[in-house]
Amino acid sequence: MAALEALLCDRNASGELVAPAAPWLERVKDDYDRSIGVTSLQVRLGMRVLIVLLEWLPLCVLGRAIRMSRLSLNDRVHYFEALEGHRFALLTMLLVATKIPMLVSAFESGDALKLTGYDRPTTSARRRLPVARAGKAEPAEPKESTT
């Protein structure tokens, strides 16, 4: 949860970091848990190891003997940014391998989907296509189907 909070936080109008809304965070966490729940023992163990490493690596990356989940939101963001651009590729790989599965559902619906600029109501909605007028030679009005 602490990791998700940092990955999804944003700045407010005055430039301060703000944690994502709790319902959004809960939904993303639940989705991630459900996804992990359908995987094999191998993947579950692998993800667990990644999370444990993420939790304890501030010692190596920030030089501070503190767990990731105890860092302030600012420091957590700083920590993940340091991991993402770290000169040791394995540390970067560790972050990315955790981040992508965690965030797959984050921008899938609601306001987060709108933020991506996607112009359909849901990610499973069909594209709005112009409907051609039967038997008319002139260009069709850009009438839109509602499928």
Partner 1 sequence: MKGILSDAPIVHGRELPHGFRHACDVVVVGSGASGMTVATILAEAGHDVLILEEGPYHRPEDIGRFEPSTSLRRLFREAGMVAAVGVGQTPLISLTLGRAVGGSSLLTGGVCFRIPSAVHHGWVHEQGLHEISERSLEAAYEAVEKRLAVREVPESMRSESSNRFVLGAERLGYTMRSLRRNTGDDCEGNGRCNFGCPAGAKRSVDVSYLPDFVAHGGRVVSDALVEQVIVKNGRAAGVRGRLLGGKFGAPSHEFEVEARTVVVCTGTLHTPQLLRSIGLRSYGLGRFITLHPAARVVARFPDRIDGWNGALQSCYSDDLESEGILFNAVYTAVNVIAAGLPGIGPALHERARQIPNLAMFGAMVHDEAGGYVTTGIGREPTLVYEMAPKDLLRLKKGMRVLAEMALEAGAEEVVLPIFGMPAITSRAQALAMERDPIDARRIECLAFHPLGSARMANDARSGTVDTNGECFDAPGLYVADGSIFPTSIGVNSQVPIMAMATRLAWRLSERLA
CB of 119 to partner 1, least distance (A): 7
CB of 126 to partner 1, least distance (A): 5
CB of 41 to partner 1, least distance (A): 4
Are the beta carbons of 91 and 61 closer than 8 angstroms?
Answer: yes
Rule CB under 8 A: which residues touch partner 1? Answer: 6-11, 17, 31, 34-36, 38-43, 45, 47, 77, 80-81, 84-86, 89-90, 92-93, 96-97, 99-109, 112-113, 115-120, 122-127, 129
Q: Which spans in 12-143 are helix H?
A: 22-37, 41-56, 58-61, 73-84, 89-103, 110-115
Phi and psi at 24, nearest 5°, equal -60, -50
